[in-house]
Structure formats: C-alpha cells, structure tokens
Amino acid sequence: MKRFDWSTLDAAGRIAALARPLRRSEARVTDTVRDILEDVAARGGQAVTDWSVKLDGAPPRRLALTPGVVAAARDQLRPADTRSIRIAAENVRIFHEATRPEDSNWVEITPGVRSRLVWRPLQSAGLYVPGGSAPLFSSLLMMAIPAAVAGVSRRVAVTPPSKSGATHPAMIFAAAEAGLDELWLVGGAQAIAALTFGAELEDGVIEPCDKLFGPGNAWVAEAKKQASGRPGGPAVDMPAGPSELMVIADRRADPVIAAADLLSQAEHDPDAQVVLVCDSERMIDEILAEVEAQLPSLPRADIARASLAEGRAVRVADLDTACAVANAYGPEHLALQTEDAEERVAKISAAGAVFVGTFAAETLGDYAAGPSHVLPTDGAARTMGGITTASFMTSMSVQSVTRAGAADLAPVAARLARLEGLEAHARAADLRAGT
C-alpha cells in the first residue's frame, strides 16, 4: 500500500493520494464497451451471443428456476448454507419492508389547494449479479428482494456463466428465495446491452428494462454509464464499480481486525481499492504488518495483492481530519474503528455505508445485516446513496384544487407566468380564476 502524510501534501498531492485506480477510466474500457453497445443495438441477440462466446466462452443461457432445479441446487448445499441464505434473505426483506416509502398525507398549501406525494413501483428492473471468479449470490438478494418489496412487476436477473458452465447452487437457491422465476447466464457489457436494447436469444427473449441495477467490474460500470447516456436509454441506480473500503482507525484500534477488513475488500477484484486513515504512525505500521501476515493464507491472495498495490495508508493529525479525508474520498464502505466511533458518525457526510465500531464488520453488511450492499463507488457517495426500496420506485406529486382555491391562487400564478413572458400559461390560470 502507498503511504502518505496528509499534513505534508498540497491540494494536488491530496487529490493524487485519494485517486482511484486508473484502469477504471482507461480508454480501452470505454472504447470496447461502446463497440459492444453499438453492435447489440444493430444486431440484437446475435451480437449478444457473439460477444458472450468471445469474452466468456459460452453463449447466453436461460435457467428456469423450476421446483426440480431449485431442489437439486438445495441438495448440493449443506443445511447450514441454506439456513444462512434464508436468514440473510429474511433480514434483507425485513429492513426493506420497514423502510419502504409511504404516500404522504395531504398538505393544504393554502385553503382549497392540497398536494401530496405518492409512490409507484417501476415496471421493470434489470439486475446485474456479478459472477466470474466469485458467484456473488448475496448481490442477487440485495437487489431482487428490495425490488419485490417495491412491487416491481418484471425483474430480469443476469449473471456471468462460470468457467465450467455450471451455475453455483447457492445462486440458484438465492434466486428462488428472492422469488425469481429464471436467471439469465450472460455477463459483462453484453449483458448490460441486452437489458438496454432487448435481445432475442436461442433460449428466449430478454425484454428491455426501464432501470438497470447492480455492481460490477470496470466494464460493467462503464456499460451502465454509456447505456444511461443514450437517447431513450434506461435509468441506472448509481456508479457501482469495483469495491472500495476505507478504514478510519485510531491508536487503540485492533490491528488484526483492521487488516482483516482491508483484505476482505482487496480480495474482490484487482481494481478494488482499500484505504487506511489513521492518526498514529505506529498503528499504521502494525496494521500493514498484519495485512502482510494474513495475506499469504488467502485463496485469492494474488487478487488481493494486486488490489493492495493501489491501496492507500494515510496518516492524519487527528480524527477530525480523518473524517474530512473520508468525506473528500466518498468511500463505498467506511469502517470507523475508533474509541468514539458512535460520535464520529455525525462528522461523516459522504459514504455508501458506515460500519460503527470494532464489531460492525463490513462483511456483516455484505451478507446479512439487512441494508443492501449495492452502494455507490468512485466518489458518488458524495451525492447519492445505495440501493433502497425507493430505488425501485418513482414518486409523483398529486395536486387537488377547489374552485375557491383556484380563485385565490390563480392570480398569483398568472402574474408570475406573465413575468416570464408565458401568456398561454397565464390565460390557463385566468380561466380557473374566472377572469
């Protein structure tokens, strides 16, 4: 990990110290994704198939989640595995049902003029579930369940095929727990293109979706960005690229736990980034030593080591400065491993999820604490939050006006319309006022 002393850095140095890995925005990714989207827009399902065979070694495949398929998957899992998936699914469901937006009461703005806010589910949602080197069935739960709670009528889940061509039984079982009827085995930018334009494939049809959700690598994140920028393209949840974790530790932190948390994110992806911010040089030394001690025993040590090469260890003068650094970086995940962690939350304004204290492992949030782990990356936490039930809904204002209310308010609206030079607007108001 690269080390920095925040107090010695000028403005440019501080920006460089908190820079994301360059590959996330390199031209090769941007250009290739553009080619894939243009090809799928022109050739449809055949282009999706061609790119899937080229990049993943297999054509897209639809997996119907029949009772037999689900039972076979369950039989391949240990009872403790299925129980854990069910507990996680239920926890996610409980949290999102409790936080589902409700229609507001009527607000009488002025006598006879009432307004309210009402919520409606999206018609369709495309859910990208990372697969590749690790089948992230937890991400499926974190999207499909909030979408169901919101009332989305069509949920289309896509996930990359494994190298063996088989689907991990936990992915199948989790999809069933989330109430899905099918999974599409297709990944990468071509999957995002299929959800954007629709695709007629050998196993069936993927219809275009109104909004796209899900984390992914640099290619998937770029594909979502480009898809949403096309005329008539789908909305997207957020920039949700390679994972990020910032740990703020003080001199009394547990170096073993801090190191374990850093490694838990580093093992995701070579483009994942971990950042340690601490007010003690000695503690930084201890944590980094623990990282090196724990690293060799990890099955994904090579991936973690590549990620750590883009990691950062930042020494700060005090914990107030540490919080300022966190707000400047806007991490996807922020772990507060300080004595006053509860009080520190008030100082944080930009993070996808905050984990308070030694026992609030980010891993608990990844799997079973309830809130969705699909969170903004690349600094987007400065302006947006992670997936909630509201992410799968839209809000509408509803306005009701009586004759008397119009008579009172219309002259005001008409005068303002004429100030803007919009005479037709003013006349429409005048008609309601009887003038």
DSSP H or E segment with residue 126: strand 124-128
Cβ pair 74, 86 in contact under 8 A: no
The answer as to whether 371 is a domain residue is: no
309/188 same-domain check = no
Domain count of the fold of the chain: 3
Is there a single domain that holds both residue 165 and residue 281?
A: no
* DSSP codes of every residue in 261-325: HHHHHHTT-TT-EEEEEES-HHHHHHHHHHHHHHGGG-TTHHHHHHHHTT-EEEE-SSHHHHHHH
Would 387 be classed as within a structural domain? Answer: no
Q: How confident is the model at residue 97 (pLDDT cuts 50, 70, 90)?
A: very high
Is residue 74 located within the same domain as residue 186? yes
Tell me the residue type at 198: G
User: Last residue of some domain: 319, 347, 365?
Assistant: 365
At 28, list the tokens. Answer: 């090769």
Q: Which pLDDT tens digit goes with each residue over 336-392?
A: 999 999 999 999 999 999 999 999 999 999 999 999 999 999 999 999 999 999 999
Considering the candidates 332, 339, 343, 362, report the single residue annotated as catalytic: 332
- Cβ atoms of residues 308 and 274 within 8 Å: yes
* Same domain membership, residue 288 and residue 217: no
Percent of the chain with pLDDT over 90: 90
Instruction: Say whether both 157 and 280 belong to one domain.
Output: no
Q: Which of 313, 347, 365 is the last residue of a domain?
A: 365
Catalytic: 333? yes
Query: What is the 3 state secondary structure string of 152-213?
Result: CCEEEEEECCCCCCCCCHHHHHHHHHCCCCEEEECCHHHHHHHHHHCEEECCEEECCCCEEE
Single out the residue of 402, 399, 406, 400 nearest to residue 431, CA to CA: 406
- Active-site choice (244, 333, 362, 373): 333
Classify burial at 30, counting beta carbons within 10 Å of its beta carbon; exposed 0-12, middle 13-18, buried 19 or more: middle
Domain end among 345, 365, 385: 365
Q: Are residues 312 and 205 in the same domain?
A: no
The 10s digit of each residue's pLDDT in 203-238 is 999 999 999 999 888 899 899 999 999 999 999 999
162-194 residue pLDDT tens: 877 778 999 999 999 999 999 999 999 999 999
- Those residues whose C-beta lies under 8 Å from the C-beta of residue 376, and which sit 6 or more positions away, are 238, 239, 240, 330, 332, 352, 384, 385, 386
Whether residue 58 is found in the same domain as residue 156? yes
The verdict on 195 and 255 lying in the same domain is no
In a domain, 71, yes or no: yes
Band (21; pLDDT cuts 50, 70, 90): confident
pLDDT value at residue 25: 60
Same domain, 140 and 210: yes
E strands, 367-419, are 393-401
Does residue 228 lie in a domain region? yes
* pLDDT on residue 24: 58
Q: Are strands 124-128 and 154-159 parallel, antiparallel or unpaired?
A: parallel
What's 341's domain CATH number?
3.40.50.1980
Query: Is 425 a catalytic site residue?
Result: no
pLDDT over 70 (residue 312)? yes
Examine residue 306 and state whether it is found in any structural domain, yes or no.
yes
- What span, in angstroms and rounded, lies between the C-alpha atoms of 99 and 20? 32
Question: Angle at which helices 169-177 and 67-76 pack, to 10 degrees?
Answer: 130
Let me know if residue 380 belongs to a domain: no
Instruction: Evaluate if pTM is beyond 0.75.
Output: yes
294 lies in which domain range?
A: 2-20+242-365
With 90 as the cut, is the pLDDT of residue 152 above it? Answer: yes
Q: What is the mean pLDDT of the chain?
A: 95
Assigned domain for 379 exists: no
Same structural domain for residues 234 and 247? no
d(CA 49, CA 186) in angstroms, rounded, equals 9
224 and 316 assigned to the same domain: no
Give yes or no for a contact between 315 and 278, defined as CB atoms under 8 angstroms apart.
yes
Residue type, 20: R
Give yes or no: residues 218 and 275 share one domain: no
Does residue 137 fall inside a structural domain? yes
